[in-house]
Structure 1
Amino acid sequence: MAKKNKQAHQRRNDSESDPESDAENENREYERGRTVLALVGKAIDSNTKIPLQWNSRNVPFGDHKTSFSTYIGVVARERVSINYRKWPDVPQAKLDEVYEFIAKGFIVREDRRKWILTRASKRWNAFKTRLRKYWLYKSDGEIRKKRPWKYRWIHQPVWDKFTATYTTPEFRAISAKFREKSQLKNSSYRGGRRGYQYFEEQVEQELLKKKIHFTEVPRHLVWIKAHSDVNDDGHIIFNNPTDLKVGEEIRTLMAQSQDGGIGSSGRDDILARALKKPERGGQVVAVGSGITNKDRHWMLAVISPWNGIVWWLNPSGSENEISQFAEEIINEGIIKFSLEHRKDIKKLKRKPLIKWRKPLCPRQPVDSLDCGFYVCRYMLEAIANRHQVIPDQYFKDVPKTYEQQMIDEVRDMWTTFVLKHKEVEDEEDGLEVS
């Protein structure tokens, strides 16, 4: 008991020099990490892994999304030294170790390894920022020489090097420059650690309730959800002039889109126009951290409404989760089909038992952007084989990964079709075709 009291007394003395209001979020982050670490530890001890759901953007969602995000942060901050200046300085062997520890507790997708390590880098950088903000200096401005008692893995020599690096005049000048730059950001994002995926799921559910069909959740609706509040009258309000201006621009562009004046999808969509920042590659706004234009992915659903069977072909691998949105929409369509035709075809049931199957179709290489061409080949092969079903092991004599020549064949077919179609249009318009 005396030992516990001594530790508690020591912690109170240490925390007296910390601004409690500033450290509140940091403390919550630490407690979340301890809780999740215990949860994952139990899973590892029982030789099981926590399952993850992946949405259409290949980002985790559902029950274990937050725990997974927190665990990535815990592993990154405890396994990677705070004395690497930048994430690219971390050795590959250490990155492999980080990924392996994360994969011990969760069922992760190998093709999302790069995304997972990118998330780890962000959480590691955020941890170093918290150390500089809450632990580097005491309330009187004096440098804290003793290591942070809360983080047992940070030993005194490591802390000494950290304080020596981040208290130099050169670093203080850089830090002041970034603080000045951050003050220019006057948009009010209200999502906190939940991320844009949280708001995307909210918008998706609202659209489904309204029976509005969509191929992907519109980014501008997600942005509005993440940057606004709702008053007592149920009206959307913005808390600063910048967001209000963007919100009004979005409403104007939505009206133009409904009238057919502009497109509402693609890189130069409504949000990009409202922000006056067309997406040209790299990070995509209002879809969540780590999402790029490369993450937009093609998949194929082959539907047999007569039998209530759907074959789901995903170039990223059959082990991946089926899109929840696609499953709900297709199931609804099969049920409506049965209600429409069951009078003519007796074997159709009023509420058909719908089966989803995931054949082992050819898989695109990691970081490949050829998913659209893979889907085209799936369609060609399904038609050419003249089967009423797609075998679980896929069709015979088809390689596990398409060779470049097979991809080029699809490109040539598509190019020929488009050019031929354009010639017909030109002839109908009375233009000379050369």
Structure 2
Amino acid sequence: MANPRRLLLLRPLAARLGQTVDYFWRAGPLACTRDQQHSSTHATHSNETRRLATMASSRMQSWFPHTAHPLVISAPMDFVTNPKLATEVTKAGGLGFLQGGRDFASESPVLGRLEAQLAQARSLLGLPANDGDLPVGVGFVLYAASARHFGATAAPILRRHRPAAVWLFAPAPDAPGTVPGAIRALKGKGGEGAAAAWRPRVAVQVGSVAAALAAARHGADVVVAQAADAGGHQFVGGAGLVSLVPEVADALARSGFAGVAVWAAGGIVDGRGVAAALTLGAEGAVLGTRYMVATESDAQDYKKEAVLATSDGGVNTVKSPLHDHILGNKSWPDAYDGRAIVSASWRDHLAGLPVEENVARFEAAKETGDFSRMITWSIPQLTSDRRPPLKSGTGVGLVREALPAAEITRQVREGALEAIGRLKASI
């Protein structure tokens, strides 16, 4: 029979994983002997995994009834996500996010795009225009001066379409009222009928314990603990996922914010990463790089190929403000930088090439279709509008194939449950 002392040592893990592990404890592999566990067939294991996915539940499933456990989330990536990708994630039991943009001026075309994408998402899900909340989320970047208009311009659009979640990130450091103001706009009363009853779950992306506590004080329902492993823009100073997520979770609990959930982000691309995030104290796992190569992704084909071709992500991606400097993108505050795939431009930078000359080489390469200077988030977009290229985190080396978003979601979720099962069987 299983060693009783080992079972006692496992109880803290059970507390972390909630009903998922509780199921394994009472009726799953731990109810069997070691010999029985090792003799189980693959088919039995798969059936048990499906049974677990059906039986297990968590706070996330009460907040987002359409989702399956554990919660897999597609990040709100600009120039990557779209209504088709987000709704396919949602249909597969995950939570798909759209990117709502960063320009909140009343005349901004971004607002029109947001309205259209939300309407399209509802249509793709087969939901009537005024029938309940929309089971997708929307993410926003808040550093621009126009963020002060969020409540007057973006919030009414959201209230009309009622997405299940809203994700806020990157307020300007000199505008501390941006996030609390946006949360008040989202949670305050407004509109008529169903719109007046809309109460989205608000997630705030953070990169530190202090920022997580501030978000909780402002009224966030979720803090997205983004580790330095993540691709794209993030806090300049940050920790890895293994230390950031549990410290954030512990700090919230100690400070009286046990009702605030934690989602883990950064370097998670498969079920093993999701299982690890759960043990660390997260209630959901965010994937970005993995969904970049989804068949529904807006990323150009050669960008997807770059992600699939890159291995050893800790060595072949780099976190630096240089990426924005090469692009000529001066809008991001100094508090944020980003991670991208290493390229000739980065290597030239290390060799001491001045930024101005590096930019000139980048522009010349872009004009000729030379991808070797893909120093930014991945391969630069060969257009004149300087749209931000693809972002890649350290998990890029684990992304080996392009699949439909729904298949990615199911594969990752089932992989997480199987990883938990293997761990339990080994104890």
- The two structures have a TM-score, normalised by structure 1, of 0.24
Flag the structure with larger Rg: 1
Q: Which has the higher contact order (CA 8 A, sep 6+)?
A: 2
| Greater helix fraction, Structure 1 or Structure 2 | 1
Structure that is richer in strand per residue: 2
